[in-house]
Structure 1
Amino acid sequence: MAQLQLAHGNNLGAMDMLRRALSEDPDDAKAHALLALVLLRQKRLHAAEHEVGLALALEADLPLAHTAAASVALAQRKFPRAEQHLSRLLELEPEEAGHLLLRAQLFELTGKRQQRHETLKQALALAPDDPHVLVALGEEALESGALRAAEQRAREALAADAQFLDGLVLMGQVHLRRGQLEEARDHAIWALRQNATDPGALRLLVNIQARRSWVLGLWWRWATWMETLGDGKGMLVLLGAYAGQRVATLAAKDLQMPGLATLISLIWIALVAYTWIGPSLFNRMLRRELQEVRLSERF
C-alpha cells in the first residue's frame, strides 16, 4: 500500500502506511528504505539519511536500501558516496535497468555527458520497452535540441504505457520547445491529473507560463538555447558576448561618440541584470505552484 501511495505522489499516505508497518515490525529494512524515499521527496534529507542508515544496518545487501542511499547521496551532492552505493547496487542486480538510470543521473549531475549517454544505452539494451529508459533518452535528446528524437522517445514511452506521467511531461516539453503552447498545456494537465504534485509536470506548467510572459519569455528562450549548448559552449558564448560589448564600447569612444558608448554599457548592464533576475522570478513561480496544487473541475 505504501508503494502504491508513493507511485501516485501521496507522500503523506505512504508515510502513514510505513509508520504502521514499522509499528508492527520496527526491524523491517524494506520499510525503512521506502520511508527514506518518502522523506527524500519531502526534502527532509537528514531524516532520509537516518532511515537509510537503519535499512542498511538491518540488511546490508538489500537493493532497495542501496537505491535509497544513492538517491539521498545524490540529493546531498555527495557524489563519491552515491557512486559507492550504485556500484554495490549493480553488483547485486546487474541486469536492472533502473539502477543504470540512477547512475546516469549521477553522470548528469557531475557533467559527464558522454558517460551518461553510454549508461542510458546500456539501460536501453537491458530494457528496450521500459518507458523510464525511453523517457531518459528523450530528455537527453531534448537537452541537446534534438526535438525529433525526443518526440520519438516520448511516443515510444507512451506506446508502452499511455498514462506514463514522465512520458506525458516529455511530450509536453517537446510541444513547448516548438511553440505549441496549448498542446504543451494539455499534456501538463494530463500529467497533473495523475499526480497533482509531480515536480516535472509543475515545472512544465510554469515553463509554459514563463514562455507566455512578456517579462520571462525572452529569458526562457535564452536559457533554453544555452541549455542545448552545454556548459563549455555556453561559457564561450558568454565570454564572446562580453568581449563584443567591450569592443563596441571602445570603438564608440574612439569615434568620439560617448553617448553611444554609454548606451551600449547600459544595455549590457540591463541584459546582465535581466538574466540574473530571470531565474529568481522563474523559481518563485515554481515554488508558488509547488506549495499546494488543486485542479479545478474545468480541467
Structure 2
Amino acid sequence: IYVYFLKWHSAQLRRNYYANICPNVENIVRNAVTKKFQQTFVTAPATLRLFFHDCFIQGCDASIIVASSGNNKAEKDHPDNLSLAGDGFDTVIKAKAAVDAVPRCRNKVSCADILVAMAARDVVALAGGPSYAVELGRLDGLSSTLASVNGNLPEPDHNLNKLTSLFAKRGLTRNDMIALSAAHSLGFSHCDKFSKRVYNFLPPRYKMDPTMNKTYAKQLRGMCPKNVDPRVAINMDPVTPRTFDNQYFKNLQNGMGLFTSDQVLYSDKRSRPAVNFYAQNQKGFENAFISAMTKVGRIGVRTGAKGNIRRNCAAFN
C-alpha cells in the first residue's frame, strides 16, 4: 500500500517541470549553491543530510526547514534534528531568494524542489560526486510537528534489520539503503554519537565493538576524550572527508565505519556483497546512488490542496 501511495503521489514529478514557468531555475539554484559552497565546505554535507531528514520524516515537502512558532514545536527542533548544521538551511533559503529575485520565477518554485532535487544534487556534484537530471514538481508541506520525527530516522546504533525495515517503509530496497549510506562519505559527527563503540560505557557483558579497526578506535579515543565533549566533531570518512566517492565502502572493508549502522553493512554477510561491489566499482556505486536518490525524492510528494509554494521556506504562508 505504501509503495502504491508513493508512486501515485510522484506521478506529477517530471524533468524540466519549470520549463515554461521559470526556465533557468536549475542554473539559478546551482549558482547560489556554488557560492555558498565556496564560502564553506560544510554546505555539502549539511544540505545532503537536510535532504534525507526532510524526506524521511513527512515526505519530501521541506517541512524540516519551518521554524517553530509559539507553542508549535516544528521538526527542526526535535533532538534528532538539532545537530543539523545551519549551513544546510541557509543554502536553501539563499537559493530560494535567488530564484525569487527573478520576477518571472517569484513564488513559482517550491522550497521542496530547491532542497530535495536541485540543491542536494548540486552539493554532491560540487564535492566530486555525480551530477544527474532531477525530477521536479513538488509542493511544500502544510505542517511540521515534533512528533512526526519519532522513529522515522536511522539511528547510529541500528542493525541491518532495523535499517532495512526503515527504508522498506519508504519503498527503498536494501541495496538502495547501502548506496545512500555513502552520504557519510561527507561531513562529521559529534563524539557522543559513537563514543560507546570506542569506550566500554555499556554493561560489563559488552566489550568495545569487535568490528572496529583497533588502530582507528585508538585514533578516535585520542580525538574524543572518555569524558565526552558533545561539541567535538570527527570526520565521518577519515580518508577523503571532502570528496564524495566510494572510499566510504573501502573504509567499511577495513573496519573504519564510524557508526554501528555503518560498519554493520560490511559485518553482516547479507549486505557485504553490495559493499564489496561499490568499493571496487565507482561507476556502479554512482549509478546506484543516483537511482536511490531519485526514489527518495519521490517519497510523500505533496500535490493539489495538500501543499503550496511557500513565500518564505522557514514559515507557512
Instruction: Please say which structure displays the higher CA radius of gyration.
Output: 1
Q: Which has the higher contact order (CA 8 A, sep 6+)?
A: 2
TM-score by length of 1: 0.28
TM-score by length of 2: 0.27
